[in-house]
Structure 1
Amino acid sequence: MTQAPDTPEGQVADAVKGNWVDRLAPAWSRPYLRLSRADRPIGTWLLLLPCWWGLLLATAAQGRFTLFDLWIMAGCGIGAWLMRGAGCTWNDITDRHIDGSVARTRSRPIPSGQVSVKQALAWLVAQSLTAFLILLTFPPMAIALGIGSLGLVCIYPFAKRFTWWPQIFLGLAFNWGALLAWTASTGMLGWPAVFLYVAGICWTIFYDTIYAHQDKEDDALIGVKSTALLFGDRTRPWLRGFLMATVLLMTVAVLLALVPAADPLTLALAIGAPWAMGWHLAWQLGRLDTEDGNTCLMLFRSNRNAGLIAALFLAVAQLV
C-alpha cells in the first residue's frame, strides 16, 4: 500500500492523525507502540473507565477515599495501558492473515512487515509481565480476578470466527476492571460490581457494533462475524435496547451499593451517572449512519466522553 507524501512512514490507517507516536516516538519504538495501539488511545480509555466506575462506586459505598484507593486508580490507569497493549498485540498476532485482507487493518505492523511475529510475541510478554507486577500490589482476591481475566483476553480474537456475537466476548474482557477495582478497594466481590460489569458489557456491545460497521463489507467477504452484520438494517433498534440495558443495570448497581448507607444527595448524584451517560449514548444513536465509516469512527471514539461523564458523576457524589 502506497502512503501519501504527508503520511508518516508506517502510520496505521485508522490512527489519530498527528498522534504522538508518529510525531515524537523514536523510530525503533513506533512499530511496537502501534502494536499496542498507543496511536489510538480510545481503547485504553474504554478499558480503564469501567475500572474507575468500580472503584468510585466502591469508595462511595464505603464513605471514604484513601491513599490506597488513589493508587488503585493510578495502577488501573497504567495497567489498562499495558493490558490493552498486550491484548491488541495478541489480537494482531492471531489476526495477521485476516488483517492483510481488510483495507482498514492491512497497514498494521505485522501484515505491513514492520515487526515479525516473534518480535510481537516478545513485546506481548514484556507488557503482560509489567502489568502483573502492578497487579501484585492489590489484595489477593483482586489478584485472582486479574489472573482470571487472561482467559477472556486469549479467547476474544477467535470469537469472530465462531459467533455472530464477538462483541460479547470483548465486553466480558474490557469490563472486567469493574469487578477488579471494586474488589481491590473493598477486599471482596459484591453484587453492585456484578451489575456494573454487566452494564459495561451492554455498553461495549453498543459502541463496538458501531465500530464494526466500518468493516462489515470486508468481514462479509472474508467470512468473519460481528453484530454489525447480524443486526444489519435493524442496528438502531438493537442499539437502543443495549442503551436502555446499560442505563438500567448501572442504576441497579448504584442502588445496591448506596441505598444502605448513602445520604439522598449522594445517591441522587450517583444515579445521575448512568442517566447522563445514557443521554450521550442517545446522542450517538441520533447521529448514527451505519453506511458512513467516518461517522461510525467518530461516534465510537466519543464513548470516551460517555464513560467519563459517568465517572465524573460518581466522583462528585463522594464530595457531598
Structure 2
Amino acid sequence: MILEPPGHQRPAVLPDSTPDQWLLRATPAAWWPFIELARLDRPIGWWLLLLPCWWSSALASSVQHTPPNLWHLALFFVGAVAMRGAGTTYNDLADRNIDAKVARTRGRPLPSGRVSPRSAKIFLVAQALVGLGVLLCFNRFSIALGLSSLIIVGIYPFMKRLTSWPQAVLGLAFAFGALMGWAAAFGALAPPPLLLYVGAIAWTIGFDTIYALQDLSDDMIAGVKSTALFFGRHVRLAVGICYGICVIFVALALFAAGVLKPLASLGLLAMAAHFTWQIGRLDPEDPALALKLFRSNRDAGLLLFAGLAGTALSSAFM
C-alpha cells in the first residue's frame, strides 16, 4: 500500500501517464498541474530529446580520443528536461482547444482548466530561461545553433493542422541534439553530425508515428493530421522503413567519423535489434501496446549511446 503525505489527494492519472508517479507523491498538490504541463511525470519525452545530444557528444569524444565529456552530458540533461517542459507547455497552449476534443488529452492542465493560460505562459518563460542558461555554457557557435532550433519548435504545434507529416517537423526539432553535441565539442559542424541528424529525424518519425496510433479515431474527429493516419494499414512497414533509414544513416555517421569500431557497431546492432522487436510486436489496433513500444525507444537509444560511450572510453585509453 502506498501512503499519501498528509493533505495530499492523488491526482487523476492521465491516459499516457504513469500510475503512482513518485514525483507527484513527493510534491505539494498545487504543483501537480505544472508537473503535468512540463511532462515531468512522463520522463520519456526528455529522454528522447536528450539521447541524440548524448549520441553526438559521445561521437565527438570518440573522434577526439577522449572519454565522454561528463560536463557536456550533464548540461544536455538539464537542458533537455527544461526545454522539453517548455516545448510541451508551448504546445499545450497552442493546442488547448484541440486537446479538449481528444479523449487522451482533454484531462491535461490547460483544457481541463487546472492551469490558466496566463500561468502557463509564465511557467513557459521560466523553463525557457533555464534552457537559455544551459545554452550559454557552450561556445558561441553552439549558442547560435541552439537558438536557430527555436524556429522549428515555434512552428511545430501548427503543423498537424496543415500537413500529414507533423512527425517530420517534430523530428527536425527533437533530433537537433545530434548537431549540438558535436558543435559543443568542436565549435563547428561536419558530415558525421549531419548524417547522425538525418538518422535521428527518421527515428523520431518512427517512434512518434507509433505514439500517434493512440489517437487515430479522435484525430479524425478533430481534423488533426498525422503520419499514423497517412500510412493507414501500411503503418508497420512505414515505421520499419523509418527505423531502417535511422540505422543506415547512423552507420554512415560512424563511418564518416572513423569510429565504426566493435563497440560502436555493437551498440548500433543492438539498437537495430530493438527496432526489429518493436516492429514485430506493433499492432495498430492496440493503443496500450503502442504507448509501451513508444516508451521503449529510450532503451533503444541508450543501447546506441552505450556503444558510442564505450568507443570513446576505449579510444581514450588505447
Q: TM-score range by the shorter chain?
A: over 0.9
TM-score normalised by length of structure 2: 0.94
Counterpart selection for 1:57 from 59, 65, 69? 59
Counterpart selection for 1:17 from 5, 19, 30? 19
Which residue in 1 is equivalent to 2:139? 139
TM-score normalised by length of structure 1: 0.93
Offset of 1:319 from its aligned partner?
2.7
Q: 1 CA distance for matches of 2:12 and 2:239? A: 35
Work out whether residues 10 and 109 of structure 1, in 8 Å CA contact, stay in contact via their aligned partners in 2: no
Offset of 1:10 from its aligned partner?
4.4
Offset of 1:273 from its aligned partner?
2.6
Offset of 1:20 from its aligned partner?
2.2
Work out whether residues 46 and 304 of structure 1, in 8 Å CA contact, stay in contact via their aligned partners in 2: yes
- Kindly indicate whether residue 164 of structure 2 is the aligned counterpart of residue 164 of structure 1: yes
Offset of 1:188 from its aligned partner?
1.1
Point out 4+ residue stretches in structure 1 off by more than 3 angstroms.
none
SS at match of 1:37: coil
- Kindly indicate whether residue 42 of structure 2 is the aligned counterpart of residue 48 of structure 1: no
Computed over aligned residues only, the root mean square deviation of the Cα atoms, in angstroms, reads: 1.2
Q: 2 CA distance for matches of 1:24 and 1:218? A: 33
Matching of residues 1-320 of structure 1 within 5 Å: 8-65=10-67, 69-258=69-258, 267-320=261-314
Offset of 1:9 from its aligned partner?
2.5
Q: 2 CA distance for matches of 1:302 and 1:242? A: 16
Q: 1 CA distance for matches of 2:154 and 2:176? A: 14
**Structure 2, unaligned stretches of length 5 or more?**
1-8
Percent of pairs with identical residues: 48
Q: 1 CA distance for matches of 2:313 and 2:179? A: 23
Moved more, 275-284 or 21-30: 21-30
Q: Deviations over 1:284-318 (max 9, x none)?
A: 00000110010000000000000000001111112
Work out whether residues 246 and 274 of structure 1, in 8 Å CA contact, stay in contact via their aligned partners in 2: no
Q: Aligned AA for 1:24?
A: A
SS at match of 1:290: coil
Which residue in 1 is equivalent to 2:4? none
Q: Deviations over 1:168-202 (max 9, x none)?
A: 01110001011011100122111100000110010
**Structure 1, unaligned stretches of length 5 or more?**
1-6
Work out whether residues 10 and 114 of structure 1, in 8 Å CA contact, stay in contact via their aligned partners in 2: no
Q: 1 CA distance for matches of 2:10 and 2:94? A: 26
Q: How many residues of Structure 1 are paired with residues of Structure 2 in the alignment?
A: 306
